[in-house]
Chains A and B, each alone.
Chain A
Amino acid sequence: MRKTRGTLITTLTWFLVALFFFPIGWMVFTSLKSEGDAASIPPKFLATLNFDQYAIVFDRGMGSYLMNSFTASIGSTLLVLLLAIPAAYALSIRPIKSVKDVLFFFISTRFLPAAASILPVFFILKALGALDNITALGLLYAAMNLPIAVWMMRSFYNEVPMEIVEAAQVDGASLRVELTRVVLPILLPGIAAVALICFIFSWNEYFLATLLTTFQARTTPPFLASFVDGRGQFLAVLSAASTLAVLPVIIAGWVAQKQLVRGLAMGAVK
């Protein structure tokens, strides 16, 4: 009796999980079909599968858009780490007086809708000749992710045993040694979590990318929409492009699930 109930709940769980995963599975499946099969009614659950659509996607230049996405995401993530690691140190291990004000300031910038300051950003970049520029986009992404990174890093610092830091201080270690030799090695998993989250948010960003880039610096998210056109069928090719676009983040997220959870909760859970 108890066992049947267990089996029943497991079956229900798997059914619901499959339902939630279905859109992604269907996208991958559709990307391997021909356009005709992809748009057939009723849908074809059996079809000849091949990678033709992926060839089309790369023919339309998706490679350079993916490269732009990598550049902006990795560049902005590195910059965020460079700024957040020392900043959070001063908010945790050796707290400055106005810790709360600084933390408050950072998180409040995250509440500002990006849309509210997009016009000045647009005009300033235009005046600087930096529209459609991948560096400019990366800088904006860094600013977008910095608050979360600082908060997350701070909570990771808070877990470093104070005894270790104090021992180093008694030994007369300089601030630099204290930070790079004593604290940072303990922090590596935390840093990985911060980097992963920043990478994901930058990679997936659509709003700024669509408004501030046109061709040279275009990233993947705004490019995807170009596969939807009024002429003929596009479901299979759109699915192929979307699969390629989501793949890096999904793989990274799957591999680093533990870090992901901690990161998403700004370090609040383990």
Chain B
Amino acid sequence: MTTTLEKTFSPPRKPRVAVTPALRKKGRQARALVLPALIFSIVITQIPFLVTIYFSLLNWNQLRPSEIKFAWFDNYKVVFTGPDFLPSLISTVIITGSSVVLSLLLGLFFAILLDRKFFGQGLARTLMITPFLVMPAAAALIWKWSLLDVNVGMINFALKLFGVPAVAWNTDFPVLTIIMMLTWQYTPFMMLILLAGLQSQSREVLEAASVDGAGPWRTFQFMTLPHLRQYIEIATLLGSIMLLQAFDPIAIMTKGTGGSKTLSYLLYERAFIGLDVGQAAAFGVVTVVVTIAVASIALRTLFKVFIDGGER
């Protein structure tokens, strides 16, 4: 039924040809093929992180660059006893979590709507994916100044038509503003993946179900949803990876005010607005540890879906 999925998710392939010395040589060559990518990735992503760990053990204020000395774990004490880390962690969970859930639900809704044959289906789909393509910085600026502005914003104009007074979205509801913006950008992403899932369903099986007297809701519940499960998992995982690191709308729209200071914004603020390098690095290290801890659960699922073939 889903040959493509099974093929892409299949475990590493084993060559069926007998192993000859020539093949063994090719095995060595194969290892040489992966090395450049590995080394490049290690040099650019891992070495800076090791340096971050080193920085986190220093007492280093940029105002007094001559007084750098070892502070051991003092900076970590600040992270865990200070007032910044926990609220930021909570903000990250709230903003990422609600954006993922909302865009997934909306994406599913749109996928179902666009799966039907109707007038202008192709155009509707094309228009619908556009928000995901828009540069986040541009989207944030347009939303902030052109749509959500108290005076000239189009959304406030529309609200006024219904008798609702103007709302200062960016300052009064920063968290909601960010979630709204991210949901708008990521609904198309979720929709695309779920739509691909819907379209890979076998029409005959669905028709057979309908001939057998299954109503549309029962067909959806017992056939479509189980079929979509893998697609939902992929969409959720990849969406979460991207949304977790969302930075642009926060930097542009709210600057981390009113509970919208996610970990990635907190790290930025510590590193480039605060002057304490050691402390900023400690915040970074703790964030990475927390992220990896959460991500390892996600990674395990990712591997189950992509590499081990997944359970059906």
Contacts and interface: CB of A to CB of B under 8 A. Distances in A.
Contact of A17 (B124, B238, B252): B124
Q: What does DSSP make chain A's interface, helix, strand, loop or mixed?
A: helix
A172 B188 CA distance: 47
B167 interface: no
B134 A21 contact: no
A23 interface: yes
Q: What does DSSP make chain B's interface, helix, strand, loop or mixed?
A: helix
A183 interface: no
Interface in A203-233: 203-204, 206-207, 210-211, 220-222, 224-225, 227-228
Nearest to A111: B295
A162 B124 contact: no
A116 B295 contact: no
A259 B91 CA distance: 35
A45 to B, nearest CB: 11
What interface size band does chain A fall in?
A: 35 or more
B17 A170 contact: yes
A109 B193 contact: no
B116 to A, nearest CB: 7
A107 B299 contact: yes
* Minimum-distance CB pairs A-B, first 7: A115-B267, A120-B51, A116-B284, A87-B37, A143-B44, A117-B48, A86-B33
Interface of A: 6, 9-10, 12-14, 16-18, 20-24, 26-27, 30, 38-43, 83-84, 86-87, 89-96, 99-100, 102-124, 139-140, 142-143, 146-147, 150-151, 155, 158-159, 162, 166, 169-170, 172, 175, 200, 203-204, 206-207, 210-211, 220-222, 224-225, 227-228, 234-235, 238-239, 242, 245-246, 249-250, 253-254, 257, 260-261, 264-270
6 contacts: A23-B147, A24-B131, A111-B244, A147-B41, A204-B137, A246-B138
